[in-house]
Amino acid sequence: MIRCAIEGGVNYFDTAYVYHHQKSESALGIALADGYREKVRIATKLPIWLVKKADDFDRILEEELQRLQTDVIDFYLMHGLNQASWKKVQKLGLLKEAETAIEDGRIRHIGFSFHDKLDIFRQILDGYDSWTFCQIQYNYMDTHF
């Protein structure tokens, strides 16, 4: 299905470390073998709630690169930022870790997915000058945000 989508013009795939019981990245990596990786851009996400120390950034990123069978992730997101996880990102210096990964070529762009209220969104957006994108939760069934 993934290859059929690519052949039909799809050029972007979004996945995450935890999607589908941690099998989504591996499935995408298999599908993108044999030259298909060069035809698409991929996004995946750092599960902030699983990060306990700064070193976890590299450990998880390396695992994601292996799962995806690629040397570079086009769009890397801090997954599901909210007020508490934003504080954790700052405390552990995870943006510095991401900048290092950009410098060494493991990721191309750093962004975040967001799950909280507007004032927290503004704090996160204004709290780092080098965001290149964000993914905002938008669900008509969610009456809280």
Over the stretch 14-72, which tens digit does the pLDDT of each residue have? 999 999 999 999 999 999 999 999 999 999 999 999 999 999 999 999 999 999 999 99
Q: Is the pLDDT of residue 90 over 80?
A: yes
Give the CATH fold of the 42-140 domain.
TIM Barrel (3.20.20)
Residue with more model confidence, 12 or 142: 12
pTM for the structure as a whole? 0.92
Residue type, position 117, single letter = K
pLDDT, tens digit (0-9, with 9 covering 90-100), for 75-89: 999 999 999 999 999
Residue 136 pLDDT: 87
CB 96 within 8 A of CB 76: no
